[in-house]
Amino acid sequence: RRHVYDFTEGNAQMKSLLGGKGAGLAEMTRIGVPVPDGFTVTTQACVAAMQAGGTWPDNLWAQIEAHLDDLERRTGRTLGGSERPLLVSVRSGSVFSMPGMMDTILNLGISDDAAAGLAAETGNARFAWDSYRRFLQMYGEVVEGVPAHAFEDELAALKGRRGVTQDTDLTVEDLQELVATFRRVARANGADIPTDPREQLRRSVNAVFASWDNPRARVYRGLNAIPDDLGTAVNVQQMVFGNRGESSATGVAFTRNPSTGAKELYGEFLVNAQGEDVVAGIRTPRPLAELETVLPEAYRQFLDTMTLLESHYGDMQDIEFTIEQSKLYLLQTRNGKRTAAAALKVARDMVDEGVIDRETALRRIEPEQLDQLLHPGLDPKHTATPVTRGLNASPGAAVGRLVFDADTAAERGKAGDAVVLVRWETTPDDIHGVVAAQGVLTAHGGMTSHAAVVARGMGKPCVAGAGELQIDVAAKTVTIGGTVLTEDDTVTLDGSTGNVYVGPIALVPPQITDDFREVLGWADDVRRLGVRANADTGPDAAKARELGAEGIGLCRTEHMFMAADRLPVVQRMILASDADARGAALADLLPMQQSDFDEIFEAMTGLPVTIRLIDPPLHEFLPDLVEQSLLVQRLEIAGAGAPPSDELVAARDLLAHVKRLHEMNPMLGTRGVRLSLLYPEICVMQTRAIIRAAIAVRARGLDPRVEIMVPLVGFAEELRRMREVIVATADEELAAAGVALDYTVGTMIELPRAALTADKVAEHADFFSFGTNDLTQTAVGISRDDAEGSFLASYLEAGIVPANPFASIDADGVAELVRIGVTKGRETKPGLKTGVCGEHGGDPASIAIFDKIGLDYVSCSPYRVPLARLAAARTTL
């Protein structure tokens, strides 16, 4: 079996075998981009080693040695030789990019002899010993598990003794001393660093294999749904040296601005530095534009290479480069991670430039990413003065209390606190804290620092490199000028400007841009599935329409009952002792409901509006049983002995009603159509309100499209009877007004029995809307409110269920009921309109399933509508 490929033998298509980095290096080599020579050990070799508990496949080492021999021959160098030494990097690289999550070792092969050889060859001893100390540090840490701070502390101490701040200020002698110190540190930590360079290589390859399974890589894979069994490739590559003096440099760049998508130079570099220095945020790097003056010749090579790479890949590239004595080398290229705003702009621009077609553009934008654009920003009218400013590393606004370490951020974020993580710089180990925080603030690092890259990927606001921050992690304080902030302080970050404010600032709803409208318009052109919104008020309906909803799939009328001015009337209706009293309360409710529907029909003129008749059990409108009992007790104690006060009499009466309506299992109790059949006067009132509103809206020259929906039907007979009441009432209203107006009556399918008998239910329904929230609860037999906080979480962790069935529809079970319901319903009524109105209507994976089943539309909350439009388009591509 073949385990190793030279860069000249691979290409971009071999990603799963060579990893993204290996395939990229091979492809760049193939198209003539300057890449240091090397070879790649396959992901399959890593998987084989993992499966064998760490034992390598038989001939793996022999193959690596053979390719190393060739590399030595091609370069005319010897690994670790005392003359013309070959140094290599040993780099991880999996199929999906996991930036910084796995390990890489630079300058491998160096030793006292090789350092002397390198110094003699280059005439630059400082650089040789700088490379040496870096190697000891990385090798010690990655391969031998020496804690990183053990080396960092010594480096900081030496700089302190010399009174310098930058690594580059250390002299040859300093670096030689550091090499000796590092060796001592390694020994003190039980690490023996082999002197044989080939043994170093063998152990390093092994360590990179093992880094696939380090904790932060696991967390990252979990977050990004990357399978755990892919393994990493290992790239062994000749070193080029950005730390070889003032005409050498290293940097990171994007071919376009990954924050805004603008077609402009974006990136950073550091002169006289090596790879990790830029991203680690230890020294704050310089903007790429300055490279033109610092190293003009390399800059020209750089521009040409950027153009070549982008047109070759047809997508924005994220590259790593090193300049050794004014000559440019590319060390990595990949499709750049970008914010949602940038994704839309790049897609639109590239379609305009003729680089890609619309379908390709749509395929590149993840629906979930759009969510970022639908989050609030800072109120532009605010007058607060920023306390400091950093780089606008990832857009959006974040408001939260300060936290100083990732573990606390994770803990408090999980508990529901809004927190902002503040760090000198972030490392891959902080990722769980970034996830849980509203935003990230760092003192060090640039636009391509770890914090910035990770935050942009997650759509978290980030302000990086706010140099004025003085952070004391132990004391949990951050000092900015004269201001000292602690864990009790709230800050506001504006990731779009880099401004940092003390205290909370009001946020405003997101703004829809032209790029957004344009790209979603392409989605609308290709999707089959309709997209509606769940909305209960006029303003929500208007918002939904603005976001592209083609109607309302679910308007919950009982939400209108909960408003402060309505609840007392609703309670009066429930508590009524006879039909007359109930009728009077309902008569008061009618005009209120009518005005609600009026607003909604107006906002949705010309588009269908599905209104669901009352669904929840009546006790939900009354006080809680326990609380009401306590109130009665309190009043009894207060008035001990005296005749009962009016208040006590009323409280006792209410308690009696609460007790009467109390159910052991209200979710499966007197609710939905059952309630309406018991008290038809409620749904008669609702039907009147709906029809009167429609008549009034029509009279204003608008076009209301009425769909009345009956919830929780399990038996066709329930719907038959209910429909009779609705039709009689509606027709009476229309006749009285002398108006002809079409309306339809349909049902929610949210009980398995309704789905299984859909052919019979359809006899009385003009449409079906699958209520997949309740359908999931009733089909799977899991109570959502009880499960999500308890066993469902452990089920997910243990892999008993592949996904939360309330977030993503259960494909084998619940979706099958939907399919049966659609099929049987259409057997009775071929043109039966069908939709879905549960949370699943806004979930891309569920949308793909609904599209396949052949539903007519999905309906989701207004802010999910754009996601749903894009997801519906992508399933057809």
List active site positions. 450, 837
* C-beta of 320 vs 774, nearer to ligand ADP: 320
Binding of residue 239 to ligand ADP (CB under 6 A)? yes
Binding of residue 771 to Mg ion (CB under 5 A)? yes
Q: Which stretch binds ligand ADP (CB under 6 A): 59-67, 237-245, 628-636, 865-873?
A: 237-245
Site size toward Mg ion, by CB under 5 A: 4
- Tell whether 771 is in a known binding site: yes
Q: What is the largest CA-CA distance in the chain?
A: 107
Contact of residue 10 among Mg ion, ligand ADP, none (CB under 5-8 Å per partner type): none
- What is the spatial distance between Cα 182 and Cα 152, in angstroms, rounded to a whole number? 10
Contact of residue 771 among Mg ion, ligand ADP, none (CB under 5-8 Å per partner type): Mg ion
Binding of residue 89 to ligand ADP (CB under 6 A)? yes
Q: Which residues contact 671 (CB under 8 A, 6 or more apart)?
A: 615, 616, 617, 711, 712
Output DSSP code: residue 386.
P
Binding of residue 370 to ligand ADP (CB under 6 A)? no
Residue 790, number of CB atoms within 10 A of its CB: 9
Task: Decide if 234 contacts 61 (C-beta within 8 A).
Answer: no
* C-beta of 714 vs 771, nearer to Mg ion: 771
Alpha carbons within 13 A on the beta-carbon side of 146: 25
- Strand, coil or helix: 716: helix
Residue 459, number of CB atoms within 10 A of its CB: 20
Binding of residue 350 to ligand ADP (CB under 6 A)? no
Beta-bridge mates of residue 685: none
Continuous H helices in 642-763: 646-661, 673-678, 680-699, 716-737, 752-756, 758-761
Site size toward ligand ADP, by CB under 6 A: 17
- 405 CB-contact burial (10 Å; exposed 0-12 / middle 13-18 / buried 19+): middle
* Per-residue interface string for the shown chain with Mg ion, residues 328-357, x marking contact by CB under 5 A: ----x-------------------------
Binding of residue 334 to ligand ADP (CB under 6 A)? no
* Location of structure tokens 């008749």: 613
Task: Report the residue number whose CB is nearest to ligand ADP.
Answer: 275
Task: Decide if 836 contacts 772 (C-beta within 8 A).
Answer: yes
Continuous H helices in 376-532: 406-414, 431-436, 450-458, 514-526
* Segment 7 to 46, residues that bind ligand ADP, using CB under 6 A: 36
- Tell whether 842 is in a known binding site: no
**CA 69 → CA 75, 78, 84, 357, distances in Å?**
10, 9, 15, 45
- 280 CB-contact burial (10 Å; exposed 0-12 / middle 13-18 / buried 19+): middle
Q: Which stretch binds Mg ion (CB under 5 A): 154-162, 264-272, 474-482, 766-774?
A: 766-774
Q: Which stretch binds ligand ADP (CB under 6 A): 25-33, 226-234, 238-246, 519-527?
A: 238-246
Of 331, 402, 491, 541, the one binding ligand ADP (CB under 6 A) is: 331
Binding of residue 207 to ligand ADP (CB under 6 A)? no
Binding of residue 276 to ligand ADP (CB under 6 A)? yes
* Per-residue interface string for the shown chain with ligand ADP, residues 456-495, x marking contact by CB under 6 A: ----------------------------------------
Q: Which stretch binds Mg ion (CB under 5 A): 326-334, 438-446, 510-518, 638-646?
A: 326-334
> How would DSSP label each residue in 277-307?
HHHHTSSPPEEGGGHHHHSHHHHHHHHHHHH
Contact of residue 91 among Mg ion, ligand ADP, none (CB under 5-8 Å per partner type): ligand ADP
- What is the spatial distance between Cα 593 and Cα 590, in angstroms, rounded to a whole number? 5
Of 18, 178, 205, 240, the one binding ligand ADP (CB under 6 A) is: 240
Contact of residue 232 among ligand ADP, Mg ion, none (CB under 5-8 Å per partner type): none
Task: Decide if 771 contacts 711 (C-beta within 8 A).
Answer: yes
Q: Which residues contact 394 (CB under 8 A, 6 or more apart)?
A: 259, 339, 440, 452, 455, 456, 459, 460, 461, 462, 495
* C-beta of 339 vs 778, nearer to Mg ion: 778
Of 774, 843, 851, 856, the one binding Mg ion (CB under 5 A) is: 774
* Per-residue interface string for the shown chain with ligand ADP, residues 100-119, x marking contact by CB under 6 A: x---x-x-------------
Contact of residue 774 among Mg ion, ligand ADP, none (CB under 5-8 Å per partner type): Mg ion
Q: Which long-range contacts (CB under 8 A, 24 or more apart) does 301-308 make?
A: 301/34, 301/327, 301/328, 302/253, 302/328, 305/33, 305/34, 305/330, 306/253, 306/255, 306/265, 307/255, 308/31, 308/33
- Tell whether 612 is in a known binding site: yes
- Tell whether 750 is in a known binding site: yes
Helix-then-strand count for the chain, H and E: 36, 33
Q: Which stretch binds ligand ADP (CB under 6 A): 96-104, 130-138, 222-230, 707-715?
A: 96-104
- Tell whether 556 is in a known binding site: yes
- What is the spatial distance between Cα 204 and Cα 185, in angstroms, rounded to a whole number? 19
CB of 215 to ligand ADP, least distance (A): 16
Binding of residue 442 to ligand ADP (CB under 6 A)? no
Structure tokens at 818: 């939907």
Inter-helix orientation angle 148-162/172-188, to 10°: 150
Q: Which stretch binds Mg ion (CB under 5 A): 455-463, 546-554, 743-751, 849-857?
A: 743-751
Q: Which stretch binds ligand ADP (CB under 6 A): 186-194, 234-242, 339-347, 775-783?
A: 234-242
* C-beta of 332 vs 496, nearer to ligand ADP: 332
Task: Decide if 716 contacts 763 (C-beta within 8 A).
Answer: yes
* C-beta of 774 vs 851, nearer to Mg ion: 774
* Per-residue interface string for the shown chain with ligand ADP, residues 281-320, x marking contact by CB under 6 A: ---------------------------------------x
Give the residue numbers of the binding site: 556, 612, 750, 771-774
Give the residue numbers of the binding site for substrate: 556, 612, 750, 771-774
Give the residue numbers of the binding site for Mg(2+): 750, 774
What residues line the site for ligand ADP (CB under 6 A)? 36, 89, 91, 99-100, 104, 106, 237-240, 275-276, 320, 322, 331-332
What residues line the site for Mg ion (CB under 5 A)? 332, 750, 771, 774
